[in-house]
Amino acid sequence: MADFKTTARLLAVTAVMVAHQGFAFAQMPQQQPDAKAFKLGKFDIVALHDAQFVQPNDGKIFGLDHSPTEVADLLKAAGAPTDTVTLSVDALLVKSDRHLVLIDTGVGGALQGSLAKAGYRADAVDEILITHSHPDHVGGLVLNGKLAFPNATIRMSETEWSYAKANEKLADIVKVIADHVKTFKPGGEVVPGITSVALSGHTPGHVGYQIKSGKERLFDIGDTVHSSIISLAKPEWAISFDGDKPEAEQNRVKTLTTLAKSHERIFAPHFPFPGVGYIAAEGDHFKWTPNDKSE
Ligand SMILES: [Zn+2]
């Protein structure tokens, strides 16, 4: 029963996450593999599902400087349950004629199953780009104490790698991946067609990845946003996951404003699977328009 192992592992990683970020998951539904493929210019893109977390609306995660009732009002207006907030954990696969690139690796949930469902093997991934070193983005790098993607170079910003190495709770992961990590300064091309973009506040070296092929673009904005409802309705509200909250709030408002104007397609790893779509301005805030079709 692979399911038992996966669940045990997921709970272990989740425990790390709880200890690290100071929050608890109310429920841990079964993690089901899912994959959604589409074209972006010459690239084949696949959104890969890893996990689904249901968090309590208890004032400890979302809207820290506001009441659960205010958060519930936003959820209600969006037609969602008001006592919990559901976040997906997803990753993005980008296949070009030269590379098979995975952006983030989930918490170690259903990602490997999702990759198989999409028709790819883990040993075919030759590049892994990390947005930041939280366990729900780097947890899938290691499987049973070994590299989960044995032939991949693992890239992250140099600031983020320093931050990860200083985090004792990531020691087991850091030890396994250390010889395979290459760092970069944000702002340049990391693999052909993919450029890193500094998006500050969530962690010290958090970046997004801009994917371009011909005239088409897709911007993986990492954890600039978390809930497709709360992060867009109230981007200026503090969330417990952000390391530097004022900086993260400023970055969130600025990034969303830019994206609403540019009408650029994005991938948000915690938005409802597959997390692909557009940000639109709506009054003094924003709204989410899912769109995962090939253009
Ligand atoms: Zn995250």
DSSP state string for 44-58: EEEEEEEEEEEEE-S
Res 269 pLDDT > 90: yes
Q: How many residues does the chain have?
A: 295
Q: What span, in angstroms and rounded, lies between the C-alpha atoms of 241 and 223?
A: 9
Exposed e or buried b per residue across 25-50, where buried means at least 16 C-beta atoms within 10 angstroms of its C-beta: beeeeebebbbbbbebbebbbbbbbb
What is the Å distance from ligand 1's center to 132 Cα? 8
pLDDT the model gives residue 245: 96
What is the Å distance from ligand 1's center to 170 Cα? 15
What is the Å distance from ligand 1's center to 186 Cα? 19
Res 4 pLDDT > 50: no
Res 112 pLDDT > 60: yes
CATH architecture of 2-212: 4-Layer Sandwich (3.60)
What is the Å distance from ligand 1's center to 270 Cα? 7
What is the Å distance from ligand 1's center to 22 Cα? 14
The pLDDT confidence band at residue 284, using thresholds 50, 70 and 90, is confident
Res 26 pLDDT > 80: no
Q: CA 50 → CA 84, 104, 114, 198, distances in Å?
A: 20, 10, 7, 24
Res 228 pLDDT > 70: yes
What is the Å distance from ligand 1's center to 275 Cα? 13
Res 263 pLDDT > 90: yes
- Are 222 and 160 in contact, with CB atoms under 8 Å apart? no
